[in-house]
Amino acid sequence: MKLSAPIYHLKRKAKIFSRQEKIPLHVSLDRVALQEGFTSWSLLAAKNSGTPHSRKLFEQLRAGDLVLIGARPGHGKTLLSLELAVEAMKAGRRAVFFTLEYNRQDILDCFHVIGADLEKFAGLFDFDTSDAISADYIVGKLPSAMPGTLVVIDYMQILDQKREKPDLKSQLQTLKSFAKDRGLIIITLSQIDRLYDPSAKSVPDMSDVRLPNPVDLSLFNKSCFLNNGEVRFLEKAVKQ
C-alpha cells in the first residue's frame, strides 16, 4: 500500500499532532497509521521498511568505531540511533543509550515510532538519563561491557556544558580510546549549525557540525548525516 507521504513526514506529522492534542505519541502514531490504511503504526512501519538505512549502516560498523550522526532537530538522528541499537540487539549484542534529552517514556515512544518491540530484547537494552553523563561517567558505567556493545550518546554538544567536566575534545579522546580498547561501537549524536542551508547542500557534513568550542572531528572515523529523509554515510570522512 502506497503511503500518502514519505514515512519520515508521517512521523513528524504524528509528533506535531501529539503535541497539539496533548496525547501520547504512540496514540498519535496509530491514528496516522489508520489514516494511511493500517491498523497500527507498527504494521505500517513493518510493511514499509524495505531495507532500512539502519541495517545498511549497521553492516558497516566495526568494533572500535567512534561514529557521529548529525542532523537538524526533527530529521531522525535519534530514531536512526535506536534503529541501530535494534540491529545490534537482533545480533545478540547489548545496546546502551545515554541521554540528557529524553526520559523513559520518550524512549519507549521512540521504539514505537520505529516499530520495534523492546520486550523482545529483554536484558539487552539499557538507558541512562543521569545529569552527570560525560565520557568519564560512561566509561565508569560500562566497566564490563562486552566487545560489540553499541553505545549511543545523545548528544555531543551537551557533554561539556558543565564547567566541572573535561572539555569536549578531551571527552571525545576518552571515548575513542575506550571504544578501541574494549571493542565497542560508540555513536555520538550531534547538532548541526543553524547556518546550514539545505538549498545549497541537500545533506549536511562535518563542516556543518555545531561546535561551541574547537574540536578535532577527525577523532570520528565514521559519520552519517540526515536531512529530509536522505541519509549519507561517510567512512573516514576526514583525515586522521
Which pLDDT belongs to residue 54?
Answer: 86
Q: Of 53, 165, 41, whose CA–CA distance to 110 is shortest?
A: 41
> From residue 145, how far is each of 43, 67, 88, 139 by CA, in Å?
34, 18, 14, 9
> From residue 87, how far is each of 57, 82, 91, 143, 193 by CA, in Å?
10, 9, 6, 23, 29
Domain residue ranges in the chain: 7-47, 53-235
| pLDDT, tens digit only, all 240 positions of the chain | 678 887 777 888 888 888 899 998 888 989 999 999 998 887 887 777 655 678 889 999 999 999 999 999 888 899 899 999 999 999 999 999 999 888 888 888 888 888 888 888 888 999 999 989 999 999 999 999 999 999 999 999 988 877 788 899 999 999 999 999 999 999 999 999 999 999 999 999 999 999 988 888 999 999 999 998 788 998 864 443
Which pLDDT belongs to residue 240?
Answer: 37
Which pLDDT belongs to residue 236?
Answer: 65
Which pLDDT belongs to residue 43?
Answer: 82
Strand, helix or coil for residue 24: coil
> From residue 175, how far is each of 33, 150, 158 by CA, in Å?
39, 13, 15
> From residue 116, how far is each of 50, 81, 120, 183 by CA, in Å?
15, 13, 9, 26
- CATH classification for the domain delimited by 53-235, as one of 3.40.50.300, 1.10.20.140, 3.40.1350.10, 2.40.50.140: 3.40.50.300
Strand, helix or coil for residue 69: strand
Number of neighbouring beta carbons within 10 Å of residue 87: 21
Taking the C-alpha atoms of residue 116 and residue 46, their distance in angstroms, rounded to an integer, is 9
Who's near 163: CB < 8 A, 6+ residues apart? Answer: none
Which pLDDT belongs to residue 238?
Answer: 42
